[in-house]
């Protein structure tokens, strides 16, 4: 059963995107950013210490750790642990020179590298700070902050980290920051976590397991939509499909026989995608199917095509 998309889902201010590596998380993050920006919302899309993909989808050069415009109402940034740590130090110590004196110390740098999860905490904390940034009038600087989160295995640890720190560090700044981060991650009024999959066995299996972990009682994150990427679009109408299934005529040339063989393989892939989509619909999440695009590169034109396909399925 297909779950309808709620317009309110796309009004959440803090949006996370995760899934198995290679399924198109960055593509969906860019699509969500373009969709949000097109609605007039000031939108920041964040990659986390990544080999940047999102700026190229918008037709832009890599942006690094500086917030940079990508499209009207859309900005991008690649959050990196070093600059995030320096910014946090300045925020807490107030004086830039003092902050650099403390955190440029080789002993402090080695210590930070040895603490498990510290880089993840710094990057999540930086994204969290973007969510609570305010302009001179005290209004939120960003209407939407989108985080292209780590892939499945690493992603679960990444999402759970603030809760672990909150529960095991009883007092102090770290406890308070982790407590506030976890409150944001689990707030259904402000946050949504979107999942991305492909219509293939392993991605679908991992997506089902990930949904149970993130949205189940253990973590209780508020769910977003499920994005099924690279779904083959049907090539034939009913009559054409029936003809392909009958097979090539006895007097078919080798080229025609090959065309029939390829078409039958394509019909098999389409049927397989439908079966995997039905399996994912069993999770009870709203699902958006993104078409397989036959393009060497993913750029602004392809992004707009995916956005149009999403809108045709009810994405505002």
Percent residues over pLDDT 90 in the chain: 71
Q: Is 298's pLDDT higher than 50?
A: yes
Instruction: Look at residue 300 in the predicted model and tell me its pLDDT.
Output: 98
Instruction: Say which CATH topology domain 7-84+116-234+287-311 has.
Output: Rossmann fold (3.40.50)
Q: What is the pLDDT of residue 94?
A: 46
Q: In the predicted model, is pLDDT for residue 112 greater than 70? A: no
Residues 225-245: what's their mean pLDDT?
94
The set of residues, in sequence order, having a beta carbon less than 8 Å from that of 305 and lying 6+ positions away, is 291, 293
pLDDT of residue 103: 52
Strand 74-79's sheet: what is its strand order?
A: 68-71, 74-79, 43-48, 144-148, 14-19, 191-197, 223-231, 287-291
Q: How high is the pLDDT of residue 122?
A: 82
Please give the structure tokens belonging to residue 248.
């090539």
3-state secondary structure 244-305: HHHCCCCCCCHHHHHHHHHHHHHHHHHHHHHHHHHHHHCCCCEEEEEECCCCCCCCHHHHHH
Q: Residues 300-313: pLDDT tens digits?
A: 999 999 999 999 99
The CA distance from 305 to 300, in Å, is 9
Written as six digits, the tokens of 71 are 């499209």
Best CA proximity match to 291, nearest among 309, 270, 316: 309
CA angle 55, 57, 59 (to 5 degrees): 70
Average pLDDT estimate for 114-130:
79
Tokens 């979107």 belong to 194
Query: Which tens digits make up the pLDDT trace of 132-176?
Result: 999 999 999 999 999 999 998 788 989 999 998 899 888 887 788
Closest CA to 26 of 244, 302, 312: 302
* Confidence (pTM): 0.90
Tell which residue, 45, 214, 56, has the closest CA to residue 146.
45
Q: Which of 91-95, 204-208, 240-244, 299-303 has the lowest mean pLDDT?
A: 91-95
Summarised one tens digit per residue, pLDDT across range 19-77 is 999 999 999 999 999 999 999 999 999 999 889 999 999 999 999 999 999 999 999 99
pLDDT score, position 86: 67
Which residues, at least 6 apart from 191, have a Cβ–Cβ distance to it below 8 Å?
Answer: 12, 13, 14, 15, 16, 184, 185, 221, 222
Average confidence (pLDDT) over 236-251? 91
CA angle 55/59/61 to nearest 5° reads 55
- Give the pLDDT confidence of 68-87 residue by residue, as tens digits: 999 999 999 999 987 776 66
Q: What are phi and psi of 238, to 5 degrees?
A: -60, -40
Domain residue ranges of the chain, discontinuous segments joined by +: 7-84+116-234+287-311
Burial label for 199, CB within 10 Å (0-12, 13-18, 19+), is: buried
Banded pLDDT at 105 (limits 50, 70, 90): low
Rounded to the nearest 5°, which phi and psi values hold at 197? -145, 170
Q: For position 88, what pLDDT does the model report?
A: 62
Q: For residue 312, is it left (φ>0), alpha (ψ between -120 and 50) or beta? A: alpha
Q: Considering only CA atoms, give the Rg of the chain.
A: 22
311/315 Cα distance (integer angstroms)? 4
Note the pLDDT of residue 98.
Answer: 42
| Listed ranges 240-244, 259-263, 304-308; the one with the highest mean pLDDT | 304-308
pLDDT at 231: 97
With a cut of 60, say whether residue 224 has pLDDT above it.
yes
User: What per-residue confidence (pLDDT) applies to 242?
Assistant: 92
């Amino acid at each position: 059963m297909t779950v309808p998309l709620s317009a309110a889902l796309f009004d959440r201010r803090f949006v996370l995107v995760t899934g198995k590596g290679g399924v198109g998380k960055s593509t969906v993050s860019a699509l969500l950013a373009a969709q949000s920006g097109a609605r007039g919302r000031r939108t920041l899309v964040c990659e986390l210490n990544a080999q940047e993909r999102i700026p190229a989808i918008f037709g832009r050069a890599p942006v690094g750790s500086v917030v940079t415009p990508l499209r009207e109402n859309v900005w991008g940034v690649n959050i990196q642990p070093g600059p995030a740590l320096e910014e946090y130090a300045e925020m807490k110590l107030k004086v830039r020179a003092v902050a650099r004196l403390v955190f440029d110390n080789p002993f402090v740098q080695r210590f930070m590298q040895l603490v498990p999860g510290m880089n993840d905490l710094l990057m999540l904390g930086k994204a969290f700070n973007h969510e609570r940034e305010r302009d001179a009038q005290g209004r939120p600087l960003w209407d939407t902050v989108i985080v292209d989160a780590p892939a499945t295995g690493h992603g679960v640890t990444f999402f759970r980290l603030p809760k672990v720190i909150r529960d095991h560090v009883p007092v102090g700044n770290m406890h308070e920051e982790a407590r506030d981060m976890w409150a944001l991650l689990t707030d259904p009024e402000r946050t949504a976590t979107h999942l991305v999959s492909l219509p293939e066995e392993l991605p679908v299996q991992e997506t089902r397991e990930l949904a149970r972990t993130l949205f189940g009682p253990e973590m209780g994150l508020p769910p977003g939509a499920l994005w099924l990427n690279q779904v083959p679009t049907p090539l034939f109408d009913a009559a054409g499909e029936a003809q392909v299934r009958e097979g090539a005529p006895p007097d078919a040339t080798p080229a025609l026989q090959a065309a029939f063989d390829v078409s039958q393989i394509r019909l098999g892939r389409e049927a397989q995608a439908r079966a995997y989509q039905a399996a994912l619909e069993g999770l009870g999440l709203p699902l958006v199917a993104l078409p397989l695009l036959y393009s060497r590169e993913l750029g602004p034109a392809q992004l707009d095509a995916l956005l149009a396909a999403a809108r045709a399925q009810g994405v505002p």
